Structure 1
Amino acid sequence: MTFNVDYFWESIRYGIKYIPFTLQFSVIVFVLSVLFGLIIATIRFYKVPVLSQFFSGFITLYLGVPLILAINIYYVLYATYYNDIAGILGTGKTIRDANFTSVAYFTLILSYSCMISETFRGAYRTIDKTQFEAGYAIGLTKLGTLRRIIFPQVVPAVLPSMVNWLVGTIKGTSFVSIIGLYEVMNGALIPCINTYSYVEGYVAAALIYWGIVVIIEQVGKLVEKRSARFRRQTV
């Protein structure tokens, strides 16, 4: 087996075309996962009745399901019941009109929300209880204490982890290729359909992902340095 440089550059060219979709998809998944993860972590930290127990059990069970298995399950369910639901809603659409992008968003957001919530919950535990008591002592509500005292300490603590989660989200977009969505990896493999040589396509996709991740990690390091400098100035 030989490595064809011409095929490789063709795969690079096609893969680059799908970088905008990959980044847009990743950012939306990451932002919503951080938001939902923070809400879930806060509910569990404050032990909100019923919801706390529900999320505790659900996350324990759900984190045991591989992402690739979850996306396949939701894909099959979506495809199986799409016509029935469309008929009930009276939209007149069939499975041919289905947009499987929503399946990808749902799967990744649900999975990453569960994982990121554990990061936030761990960060909450690093905050000394006296910080909460100090907020209550000066008349702040629980929400006010979180917003003005706790969050400013939690955010710098989880920042390195958030950079890693963003990187993981970008790499996780490759899973959506199994349900027919075109991101960097599927894009890089388009020329391989004609050449029947997939090594060049996979290598091209790996290099594109690597380039994106390197840039994000460097930006993350700059943000961490600035946040560390800000914390030193405020001490």
Structure 2
Amino acid sequence: MSFSMQNFYDSFKSALLYAPVTIKLTAITFIVSLIFGAVIATIRNYRIPVLSQFFAFFVTVYLGLPTMVALLIYNLLFMTLYADVANAFHISVPISDVNPIIIGYFTLIIGTTCSISESIRGAFRGIEKVQYEAGYSIGMGRFKTLTRIIFPQMIPILLPGMQNSLIGLLKASNLVSAISVVEIMTGALLPSLLYYSYLEGYVAAALVYWIIGAAIEILAHFAEKRCGKYLKIATES
């Protein structure tokens, strides 16, 4: 099997053209999931009645569902519901004009939220109870104790896990190609359809993913190094 550098170059340029789609999908999903995951983990940590039990059950069950299966299920449900709603309210916009990336966001956010919530819940356990008591003793309420004492100490503990979650999300983002979203992988293979040679497209996509992943690791390394000083001071105190 021959490897054409020209084909690889064309595939690499095409992959870079659609890289913003993947980066945007990954970044927005991660930020939203981090917020929702923190809320779920906090609810479970404080064992709020009903909500704590519900999220414990939901997260446990949902983590066993493969992302691809969830994506296809949500896509079929969306198309079915959209057709029913369009007929009921006489909506003239065809489903082909609806951007399928919305389903990709929905699927990835739910799965990533469940995963991140477990990481944050584990970080909660890494904080000693004396830290909570210190906040309460100086008149801080539960919310201020969380935001000013607990969460800042959790950041250094969470960083390695969040880095892995972000890179895993980056790699999982190519699954949205199954519902016709053009991202790095699909973009890299577009020139291959002309040459009927797909090796160059796959290698080009892998290189672009590696570059983005390496950038994430470098940023995470500096963040860990900076937060490590805070963790050391907090532990000593």
TM class, shorter-chain normalised?
over 0.9
- Tell me which residue corresponds to 1:22: 22
Q: CA offsets, 1:66-100, max 9 Å, x none?
A: 11111111111112221212333443222222221
- Tell me which residue corresponds to 1:221: 221
Change (3 A) 1:134 1:229: closer
Query: Is contact 2:74–2:107 with CA below 8 Å preserved after alignment?
Result: yes
Aligned-residue Cα RMSD (Å) equals 1.4
Query: Is contact 1:37–1:114 with CA below 8 Å preserved after alignment?
Result: yes
- Tell me which residue corresponds to 2:182: 182
TM-aligned CA deviation for residue 141 of structure 1: 1.2
Structure 1 residue 196 corresponds to structure 2 residue 189: no
TM-aligned CA deviation for residue 137 of structure 1: 2.1
Q: Matched residue of 1:145: which SS?
A: helix
- Tell me which residue corresponds to 1:206: 206
Q: Matched residue of 1:216: which SS?
A: helix
CA–CA distance in 2 between the matches of 1:112 and 1:103? 14
Instruction: After superposing the two structures, state which structure 1 stretch, 135-144 or 197-206, moved more.
Output: 135-144
Percent identical = 46
- Tell me which residue corresponds to 1:50: 50
Structure 1 residue 67 corresponds to structure 2 residue 74: no
CA–CA distance in 1 between the matches of 2:76 and 2:18? 25
- Tell me which residue corresponds to 1:82: 82
Instruction: After superposing the two structures, state which structure 1 stretch, 6-15 or 77-86, moved more.
Output: 77-86
**Structure 2 residue identity aligned to 1:37:** G
- Tell me which residue corresponds to 1:36: 36
Q: Matched residue of 2:220: which SS?
A: helix
TM-aligned CA deviation for residue 173 of structure 1: 1.0
- TM-score, length-scaled by structure 2: 0.94
Aligned residues: 235
Q: CA offsets, 1:187-220, max 9 Å, x none?
A: 0000111111111111110111011111110111
Query: Is contact 2:127–2:150 with CA below 8 Å preserved after alignment?
Result: yes
CA–CA distance in 2 between the matches of 1:233 and 1:111? 35
Query: Is contact 1:82–1:98 with CA below 8 Å preserved after alignment?
Result: no
Instruction: After superposing the two structures, state which structure 1 stretch, 104-113 or 84-93, moved more.
Output: 84-93
CA–CA distance in 1 between the matches of 2:143 and 2:225? 29
Q: CA offsets, 1:128-158, max 9 Å, x none?
A: 1121122222221111110111111111110
Q: Which runs of 4+ in 1 moved over 6 A?
A: none
- Tell me which residue corresponds to 2:6: 6
**Structure 2 residue identity aligned to 1:38:** A
**Structure 2 residue identity aligned to 1:19:** A
CA–CA distance in 2 between the matches of 1:192 and 1:75? 27
**Structure 1 residue identity aligned to 2:92:** G
Change (3 A) 1:84 1:147: same
- TM-score, length-scaled by structure 1: 0.95
CA–CA distance in 1 between the matches of 2:61 and 2:97? 33
TM-aligned CA deviation for residue 24 of structure 1: 1.2
**Structure 2 residue identity aligned to 1:128:** E
CA–CA distance in 2 between the matches of 1:231 and 1:126? 12
Q: CA offsets, 1:5-34, max 9 Å, x none?
A: 221111001001011121111110000010
**Structure 2 residue identity aligned to 1:211:** I
TM-aligned CA deviation for residue 232 of structure 1: 4.3
Query: Is contact 2:37–2:114 with CA below 8 Å preserved after alignment?
Result: yes
Instruction: After superposing the two structures, state which structure 1 stretch, 173-182 or 104-113, moved more.
Output: 173-182
